Amino acid sequence: MLHFGLIGEHLGHSMSVPIHQALYRLLGIEADYQLYELPRDTFKQDAEKLLHTLDGFNITIPYKQDIMPLLKSIDPFAQAIGAVNTVRCKDASGYNTDAPGFAAMLRRHGIDPAGKPAFVLGTGGAAKAIVAALQNMGAISVTCVSRHPKGGDITYEQLADDFSGVLVNCTPVGMWPNVDGCPIPGHQLKDILRRAAGVADVIYNPAETVLTKAAAAAGVPACTGLYMLVDQAVEAERRWLDCPIPADMTATIMKEMTTR
């Protein structure tokens, strides 16, 4: 039996186990997928142990950059992004399947950043993949928004003045169990949404966030991150499994996940 998993600091919100289990069942593969919560102070030794005991694993907040020095090789695309979310243990190689998963999600929900400015809330590992995806999809500019801006980042106050185009939340604000949170203050949100061509939130639990509900109510195309989660999981399994995976696997698993 093959053994896979997800590593992160806090994983109570995760839906990864049923997604991967569905894929194994549909493909007839004997494998399991488990969650591994790793404390920050023991991350290095815990991750090194998993590199020698699992066949592969995904990485989520806050370790998508911390894992990189522990790997023997990193795919050029992941290296350029600066974040890894998928590791194949047999050769300690790292990949990023978040960026293509995010692009697939935008296409599915009819959000097209081509020729538009895009603004990304957050600057962590997930944000790095989203920036790359938006650039690849033709956004004319991509600006990160941070409470502690560095380099070309801007503040949330500047966002309120400068925003137009596509807005993406890559922060955990609004994620279960704190589902009433929103990364943009209420007094700014309505005005920002008037200038939005699309809103995406990489949070997938809950199925709708305060941010995406407000966008939908304002008539703005909006989505949360479940499709991205499923698509990046399927892409990760393509790195791990020595068998063909049907092109419609993401859609098949999405149907299962949304009718549970």
User: Which residues belong to the active site?
Assistant: 64
Angle at 143 between CA 221 and CA 185, to 5 degrees: 60
CB 125 within 8 A of CB 174: no
What dihedral angle (degrees, nearest 10) is formed by the CA atoms of 19, 25, 27, 32? 70
Angle at 212 between CA 206 and CA 214, to 5 degrees: 125
Look at residue 223 and give its three-state secondary structure: strand
Q: What are phi and psi for residue 77, nearest 5 degrees?
A: -65, -45
Identify whether 62 is preceded by a cis peptide bond (ω within 30 of 0): yes
Look at residue 6 and give its three-state secondary structure: strand
Name residues whose C-beta falls within 8 Å of residue 232's C-beta, 6 or more positions apart in sequence. 58, 85, 86, 97, 98, 100, 101, 102
**For residues 88-97, b (16+ Cβ closer than 10 Å) or e, as one string?**
bbeeebbbbb
- How far apart CA 66 and CA 229 sit, in angstroms, is 21
